[in-house]
Structure 1
């Protein structure tokens, strides 16, 4: 399926307006009267023959309490990208679907498009479940169909839809700073005092008391126990995390009562993610952190030392700076392990992450494992021409002493090229240098000359030529056929 050139965001939202009108049980005449326009003009809007102007959009939001996020062009683009990856499955190859077909489906019937994607995701889980079921039955064990669902996927969608910004938690963190009188250079004593005021003792436990245990709250004994393996910054973070669970449980419940969170497991995982968000907001208060980030030009290591946070925590916090009127650079973020599994991802930059297959091996997050602890930079270009400036670095979790496991992961942080000049990591680099050609995943990437290609591209028929041997089994060099002839 060929990738299409990026389209300009346009207010061509006719199908969505028609769907919302029908959900409200309104005729075109009734909605047109409420909006102060003629029925014929509304008919043209619903037919995508006239744009939905900003004043009309505001009137829709005010009179019908519409969620403007549901009308955002970015939502259409994400859904189109998700569907394109789904249709990249060899299952659909005989249909000959094109990118334009997918875009038209999303524009004209977004609910149906979402349904197709959810059906494919259910199919993928069912396929995984068959393997699990076979293994369980062969071992004589039971099988739980719910086990095939991935709560992390639902939580990821939930955070992405909110653009990883939760104003209610920001306000709660700011209120805590005032009420607890926290000190910028030493927040730990003030947070510990909050527990003392609630009759909860904070103690540091030895490794031998609970191998692998980093934090434990005993509500009956009123004791919060933190591991001696945690550095001071991590102890501070864990105190703030536990305060979120104690003081803002109702708020966490309210935020996680969301249609994208369909299971108890996904809602529980989302509560943990939001408690972490609160803890980050406490360690790195929004206004001070944003000001420091701009002043230091997003130097992650300086920010980590100033706010007593880890490298990964600072990267996370940088992605949450989406307050209207006080926004930071729109970053994307991912965390991978040495096998290439993506355990966390978020995108405010517009970059696309694979859902159902492996990520492009040319991303610098993979290469970071070759230079542990060092920051690597990369200017990358996707097949549709979009360019990104990215940094990546490894992290090593040290929570077990000499005999403990020292798991290594890598984090990547990046933005569109237009924002690269705001980052200290771009200093001294030629931003007009030839970029590294990357893709989302091999099946969707058009580049047939890639020596690291692991699968054939969807948009070209794969032919085995036994008399030829290339550097990659699936790579095809431009003009190769003409050279042989």
Structure 2
């Protein structure tokens, strides 16, 4: 049974078909009363009704996909949580109605907001903006277009998977000798030499391809897993440009920077597919019950590479566990995210501070486990761990210099937790182990969260100077 709010979409379809409720009900073989309940979200739309909709009106059932609508509601609500819009008193119910009635207009609102942020001028004299002014986000918008492109394709690119498989077959590659095998591919197929350079010679550059010299320079600071990844990524740029360009033709990019970032992301996707071949990796993930440490050793990959690859196992008929991934720094900035589990991830700021991806910074190198629940009742099983960015972990640092760390969060719907080894020993149906989380403070509906950093726009802030809640913005 489809337990989602699809009434507005159904009502819009009926209007487009110029049918009365009685006429549509007759075609769906249900009563007008029941159709009225469906249109007003008083009853869930069943799979049987969806099938009849597809048969009677020749529609693509995927157009009734609630995941995309839920994500759009979350994105628009987060955008409208900017203080710029406070005077309008917009509520979550208003946004849901707008998205349900006209998703195209909702996307247009989101596009306008993103453009406004991209073109806003920062105040050089102060960090904070005055009430009513636009928040300033330096850059970031090209990366948002990349994230949207990956999400629209479910982070799965079949043509690149096939290209990676063809590379293996044509060159007799093996996991045990993959690094040297890829050096051979670059030499024989592209006449490119690989030159591992001292750290001082490379500076802050980890990989540099010089097309005139046909030399690929790689920093010695890269571990073997990263060197292999960079070799495969360069092979994609040299040998799979056609596949990458064809995939990008379906995207919507507003700048050259967005296109370059997307091309890099697709080359990196190919690299991961080469290092962790789809069928072999999926089989290993299932056999080990997603033991990240074992998978790292088996495929010679880093923790982040393994986690990211797990989010790409979406081949029709051979799907893996639907994972989401988030990468953050200690300040809360999100530098990578992919939503494959259905969880809502912030787009315009830090995520909820109660996510275990932030707890990971308190215990560097230790895997943190969390069973979390969003305000809508959806629950997730999540693991998180800190990493050191490639090329920096082993380099000597001056006394007193800070260590640069990132944290990776990986999670799946709670219904899949039993397929993950880190859930062993947990009583997953015990409500006491749930950690209430949200998207971000500005859009969170949890009024009395002790970690609330700012007021929620969903409720009127009532200030009583004679009383104090769990935080300055909690309501006693």
User: Are positions 1:100 and 2:97 aligned together?
Assistant: no
Alignment of 1:20-419 (within 5 A): 41=27, 53-54=50-51, 57=54, 71-126=64-119, 129-131=120-122, 150-197=141-188, 198-397=190-389, 399-400=391-392, 401-403=395-397, 406-419=403-416
The answer on whether the counterparts of 1:360 and 1:442 sit within 8 Å (CA) in structure 2 is: yes
Q: Distance in 1 between matches of 2:255 and 2:11?
A: 30
- CA root-mean-square deviation: 3.2
User: Are positions 1:472 and 2:465 aligned together?
Assistant: no
Change (3 A) 1:120 1:398: closer
**What residue number does 2:130 align with?**
none
User: Are positions 1:457 and 2:453 aligned together?
Assistant: no
CA-to-partner distance for each residue in 1:121-155, whole Å, 9 max, x for gaps? Answer: 223334xx2216889xxxxxxxxx99856210111
**What residue number does 1:32 align with?**
none
The answer on whether the counterparts of 1:16 and 1:110 sit within 8 Å (CA) in structure 2 is: no
Q: Deviating runs (4+, > 6 A) in structure 1?
A: 37-40, 49-52, 58-61, 132-135
Kindly state the Cα deviation for residue 408 of structure 1 after the two structures are TM-superposed: 0.5
The answer on whether the counterparts of 1:174 and 1:282 sit within 8 Å (CA) in structure 2 is: yes
Q: Distance in 1 between matches of 2:424 and 2:334?
A: 29
Kindly state the Cα deviation for residue 8 of structure 1 after the two structures are TM-superposed: 1.9
The answer on whether the counterparts of 2:86 and 2:457 sit within 8 Å (CA) in structure 1 is: yes
The answer on whether the counterparts of 2:333 and 2:349 sit within 8 Å (CA) in structure 1 is: no
Q: Distance in 2 between matches of 1:79 and 1:165?
A: 20
**What residue number does 2:424 align with?**
427
Change (3 A) 1:441 1:10: same
Classify the secondary structure of the residue corresponding to 1:245.
helix
The answer on whether the counterparts of 1:394 and 1:411 sit within 8 Å (CA) in structure 2 is: yes
CA-to-partner distance for each residue in 1:153-202, whole Å, 9 max, x for gaps? Answer: 11111111111111111111111111111013221222111111132212
Q: Distance in 2 between matches of 1:48 and 1:383?
A: 24
Q: Distance in 1 between matches of 2:138 and 2:375?
A: 36
Q: Distance in 2 between matches of 1:399 and 1:355?
A: 28
Kindly state the Cα deviation for residue 283 of structure 1 after the two structures are TM-superposed: 0.4
Change (3 A) 1:92 1:397: closer
User: Are positions 1:8 and 2:4 aligned together?
Assistant: yes
Change (3 A) 1:213 1:88: closer
Change (3 A) 1:202 1:68: farther
Number of residue-to-residue matches in the alignment? 443
The answer on whether the counterparts of 1:16 and 1:71 sit within 8 Å (CA) in structure 2 is: no
Change (3 A) 1:210 1:440: same
Change (3 A) 1:371 1:258: same
The answer on whether the counterparts of 2:50 and 2:61 sit within 8 Å (CA) in structure 1 is: no
Unaligned runs of 5+ in 2: 127-135
Q: Distance in 2 between matches of 1:206 and 1:16?
A: 63
CA-to-partner distance for each residue in 1:439-466, whole Å, 9 max, x for gaps? Answer: 1111222222211111112222113222
The answer on whether the counterparts of 1:257 and 1:267 sit within 8 Å (CA) in structure 2 is: no
Kindly state the Cα deviation for residue 365 of structure 1 after the two structures are TM-superposed: 0.6
Change (3 A) 1:374 1:292: same
Q: Distance in 2 between matches of 1:445 and 1:39?
A: 38
